[in-house]
Amino acid sequence: MIYEFRTYDLVPGSAPEVMKRFGEAYEKRKEFSELAAFWYTEIGPLNQVIHVWPYEDTNQRDEIRAAAVASGNWPPKIRDFIVNQHVEIMKPWPFSPELTPGNHGPFYEMRSYICKAGSIPGTQERWLTKLEERTAMSPLSAVFSVDIGSALKMVHIWPYQSLQQRHEVRTEAREKEIWPPKGSGDGPPYFSQENKILLPAPFSPMQ
Protein backbone atom coordinates (compact mmCIF):
# COMPACT_ATOMS: atom_id res chain seq x y z
CA MET A 1 0.00 0.00 0.00
CA ILE A 2 1.19 3.50 -0.84
CA TYR A 3 -0.39 6.88 -0.16
CA GLU A 4 -0.11 9.88 -2.44
CA PHE A 5 -0.15 13.15 -0.50
CA ARG A 6 -0.94 16.14 -2.71
CA THR A 7 -0.45 19.49 -0.96
CA TYR A 8 -1.69 22.64 -2.70
CA ASP A 9 -0.94 26.18 -1.63
CA LEU A 10 -3.88 28.36 -2.64
CA VAL A 11 -4.64 31.96 -3.38
CA PRO A 12 -5.67 33.53 -0.03
CA GLY A 13 -9.39 33.21 0.62
CA SER A 14 -9.99 30.64 -2.11
CA ALA A 15 -10.11 27.45 0.00
CA PRO A 16 -13.94 27.34 0.30
CA GLU A 17 -14.38 27.61 -3.48
CA VAL A 18 -11.61 25.07 -4.11
CA MET A 19 -13.26 22.57 -1.78
CA LYS A 20 -16.65 23.17 -3.38
CA ARG A 21 -15.32 22.49 -6.89
CA PHE A 22 -13.18 19.59 -5.76
CA GLY A 23 -16.10 17.97 -3.94
CA GLU A 24 -18.34 18.28 -7.01
CA ALA A 25 -15.72 16.73 -9.30
CA TYR A 26 -14.94 14.02 -6.77
CA GLU A 27 -18.44 12.56 -7.16
CA LYS A 28 -17.29 11.20 -10.55
CA ARG A 29 -13.62 10.71 -9.65
CA LYS A 30 -14.40 8.27 -6.84
CA GLU A 31 -15.78 5.82 -9.40
CA PHE A 32 -12.11 5.11 -10.19
CA SER A 33 -10.74 5.19 -6.63
CA GLU A 34 -11.64 6.91 -3.38
CA LEU A 35 -9.85 9.44 -1.24
CA ALA A 36 -8.37 8.50 2.09
CA ALA A 37 -8.75 12.07 3.34
CA PHE A 38 -9.04 15.71 2.33
CA TRP A 39 -7.93 18.33 4.85
CA TYR A 40 -7.37 22.06 4.99
CA THR A 41 -5.02 23.87 7.35
CA GLU A 42 -6.43 25.51 10.44
CA ILE A 43 -3.08 26.17 12.16
CA GLY A 44 0.24 26.23 10.32
CA PRO A 45 0.74 27.24 6.67
CA LEU A 46 -2.53 28.95 5.79
CA ASN A 47 -4.47 28.62 2.53
CA GLN A 48 -3.37 25.03 2.09
CA VAL A 49 -5.26 21.84 1.29
CA ILE A 50 -4.01 18.27 1.44
CA HIS A 51 -5.65 15.36 -0.34
CA VAL A 52 -4.53 11.80 0.26
CA TRP A 53 -5.06 8.91 -2.17
CA PRO A 54 -4.36 5.24 -1.36
CA TYR A 55 -3.12 2.87 -4.06
CA GLU A 56 -1.76 -0.65 -4.14
CA ASP A 57 1.41 0.55 -5.90
CA THR A 58 2.67 3.15 -8.36
CA ASN A 59 1.44 1.13 -11.34
CA GLN A 60 -2.14 1.20 -10.06
CA ARG A 61 -1.76 4.92 -9.34
CA ASP A 62 -0.69 5.61 -12.93
CA GLU A 63 -3.54 3.52 -14.38
CA ILE A 64 -6.26 5.07 -12.24
CA ARG A 65 -5.07 8.62 -12.73
CA ALA A 66 -4.92 8.13 -16.51
CA ALA A 67 -8.44 6.67 -16.58
CA ALA A 68 -9.80 9.51 -14.44
CA VAL A 69 -8.32 12.15 -16.72
CA ALA A 70 -9.55 10.33 -19.84
CA SER A 71 -13.10 10.44 -18.47
CA GLY A 72 -13.12 14.19 -18.96
CA ASN A 73 -14.33 14.87 -15.39
CA TRP A 74 -10.91 15.18 -13.75
CA PRO A 75 -9.01 17.14 -12.54
CA PRO A 76 -11.35 19.63 -10.85
CA LYS A 77 -11.36 23.14 -12.27
CA ILE A 78 -9.23 24.74 -9.57
CA ARG A 79 -5.99 25.57 -11.39
CA ASP A 80 -6.57 29.33 -11.20
CA PHE A 81 -6.49 29.11 -7.41
CA ILE A 82 -3.31 27.04 -7.08
CA VAL A 83 -0.08 28.85 -6.24
CA ASN A 84 2.07 25.75 -5.69
CA GLN A 85 1.69 21.96 -5.75
CA HIS A 86 3.76 19.43 -3.83
CA VAL A 87 3.36 15.67 -4.33
CA GLU A 88 4.84 12.91 -2.17
CA ILE A 89 4.43 9.14 -2.24
CA MET A 90 4.50 7.69 1.27
CA LYS A 91 4.76 4.18 2.63
CA PRO A 92 3.28 3.28 6.02
CA TRP A 93 5.62 1.94 8.67
CA PRO A 94 5.13 -1.80 9.30
CA PHE A 95 3.10 -1.21 12.47
CA SER A 96 1.14 1.81 11.19
CA PRO A 97 -2.66 1.73 11.18
CA GLU A 98 -4.32 2.32 7.82
CA LEU A 99 -6.11 5.57 7.11
CA THR A 100 -9.72 4.53 7.52
CA PRO A 101 -13.01 6.40 7.01
CA GLY A 102 -14.85 7.54 10.11
CA ASN A 103 -15.33 10.27 12.68
CA HIS A 104 -11.87 10.32 14.21
CA GLY A 105 -11.27 14.07 14.61
CA PRO A 106 -12.27 16.63 13.63
CA PHE A 107 -8.79 17.99 14.48
CA TYR A 108 -5.84 16.21 12.89
CA GLU A 109 -2.26 16.97 13.82
CA MET A 110 0.25 16.25 11.04
CA ARG A 111 3.85 16.20 12.22
CA SER A 112 6.63 16.02 9.63
CA TYR A 113 10.31 15.47 10.44
CA ILE A 114 13.38 15.51 8.19
CA CYS A 115 15.47 12.75 9.73
CA LYS A 116 19.19 12.16 9.90
CA ALA A 117 20.48 9.63 7.39
CA GLY A 118 20.13 6.08 8.70
CA SER A 119 18.07 7.09 11.74
CA ILE A 120 14.59 5.91 10.71
CA PRO A 121 15.03 2.19 11.61
CA GLY A 122 16.17 3.18 15.12
CA THR A 123 13.26 5.60 15.43
CA GLN A 124 10.85 2.81 14.52
CA GLU A 125 12.35 0.62 17.23
CA ARG A 126 12.00 3.37 19.83
CA TRP A 127 8.42 4.03 18.80
CA LEU A 128 7.56 0.38 19.40
CA THR A 129 8.78 0.56 22.99
CA LYS A 130 6.17 3.21 23.86
CA LEU A 131 3.52 3.16 21.14
CA GLU A 132 1.07 0.90 22.99
CA GLU A 133 1.13 3.21 26.02
CA ARG A 134 0.82 6.30 23.86
CA THR A 135 -2.08 5.04 21.75
CA ALA A 136 -3.93 3.99 24.91
CA MET A 137 -4.17 7.73 25.58
CA SER A 138 -5.34 8.70 22.07
CA PRO A 139 -5.12 6.89 18.73
CA LEU A 140 -2.59 7.23 15.96
CA SER A 141 -4.04 7.65 12.45
CA ALA A 142 -0.86 6.61 10.64
CA VAL A 143 2.91 7.04 10.41
CA PHE A 144 4.82 7.07 7.12
CA SER A 145 8.18 7.45 5.47
CA VAL A 146 8.33 9.39 2.21
CA ASP A 147 9.32 7.04 -0.60
CA ILE A 148 9.18 9.52 -3.49
CA GLY A 149 9.55 13.20 -2.72
CA SER A 150 11.33 14.74 0.26
CA ALA A 151 14.15 12.40 1.24
CA LEU A 152 14.51 11.19 4.85
CA LYS A 153 11.10 12.49 5.81
CA MET A 154 8.68 10.86 8.25
CA VAL A 155 5.07 11.97 8.76
CA HIS A 156 2.74 11.02 11.59
CA ILE A 157 -0.91 11.97 11.95
CA TRP A 158 -2.89 12.07 15.20
CA PRO A 159 -6.64 12.76 15.47
CA TYR A 160 -8.16 14.68 18.37
CA GLN A 161 -11.70 15.63 19.29
CA SER A 162 -10.56 19.11 20.30
CA LEU A 163 -7.43 21.20 20.73
CA GLN A 164 -7.98 20.97 24.48
CA GLN A 165 -7.87 17.18 24.30
CA ARG A 166 -4.65 17.40 22.29
CA HIS A 167 -3.09 19.65 24.92
CA GLU A 168 -4.15 17.40 27.79
CA VAL A 169 -2.98 14.17 26.15
CA ARG A 170 0.36 15.56 25.05
CA THR A 171 1.00 17.11 28.46
CA GLU A 172 0.21 13.87 30.29
CA ALA A 173 2.30 11.79 27.88
CA ARG A 174 5.28 14.09 28.37
CA GLU A 175 4.96 14.28 32.17
CA LYS A 176 4.73 10.48 32.47
CA GLU A 177 7.69 10.13 30.05
CA ILE A 178 5.55 8.03 27.72
CA TRP A 179 6.00 10.23 24.66
CA PRO A 180 8.04 11.12 22.76
CA PRO A 181 10.14 7.94 23.09
CA LYS A 182 13.61 8.63 24.46
CA GLY A 183 16.39 8.93 21.90
CA SER A 184 19.77 7.25 21.76
CA GLY A 185 21.60 9.95 23.71
CA ASP A 186 23.18 11.41 20.58
CA GLY A 187 20.61 14.18 20.23
CA PRO A 188 17.40 14.24 18.21
CA PRO A 189 17.41 11.91 15.17
CA TYR A 190 16.03 14.67 12.95
CA PHE A 191 17.14 18.01 11.52
CA SER A 192 13.79 19.81 11.40
CA GLN A 193 10.15 19.51 12.43
CA GLU A 194 6.93 20.89 10.98
CA ASN A 195 3.49 20.81 12.53
CA LYS A 196 0.03 21.45 11.08
CA ILE A 197 -3.44 21.31 12.57
CA LEU A 198 -5.91 20.20 9.91
CA LEU A 199 -9.69 20.06 9.57
CA PRO A 200 -11.60 17.81 7.14
CA ALA A 201 -13.52 19.00 4.09
CA PRO A 202 -17.22 18.00 4.13
CA PHE A 203 -16.61 15.20 1.59
CA SER A 204 -13.51 13.79 3.30
CA PRO A 205 -13.90 10.12 4.30
CA MET A 206 -12.00 10.92 7.48
CA GLN A 207 -13.95 13.36 9.64
Domain borders along the chain are 2-200
The pLDDT value recorded for residue 189 is 85
Q: What is the mean pLDDT for each group of 10 consecutive residues in the chain (207 residues)? A: 98 98 97 98 97 98 97 96 98 98 98 94 95 98 97 97 98 95 77 95 98
Cα–Cα distance for residue pair 38/20, rounded to 1 Å: 12
Residue at 206: amino acid letter: M
Give SS3 for 110: strand
- Distances from the Cα of 126 to the Cα of 110, 132, 184, 206, angstroms: 20, 12, 9, 28
- Tell me 81's DSSP state: G
- Label residues 111-124 b or e (16+ Cβ within 10 Å = b): ebbebbeebbeebb
What's the confidence (pLDDT) of residue 17?
98
Distance CA 74, CA 67 (A): 9
| Per-residue pLDDT, 190 | 85
Computed on alpha carbons and rounded to an integer, the radius of gyration of the chain in Å comes to 18
Q: Look at residue 163 and give its three-state secondary structure.
A: helix
CA distance 193 to 17: 30
pLDDT at 91: 98
CB 144 within 8 A of CB 91: yes
Q: For the whole model, what pTM was predicted? A: 0.95
Strand-strand pairing, 82-92 and 48-55:
unpaired
Overall CATH class of domain 2-200: alpha beta
Predicted confidence at residue 185, as pLDDT, reads 63
Question: Sign of dihedral through CA atoms 46, 104, 5, 20?
Answer: negative
**pLDDT (0 to 100) of residue 165:** 98
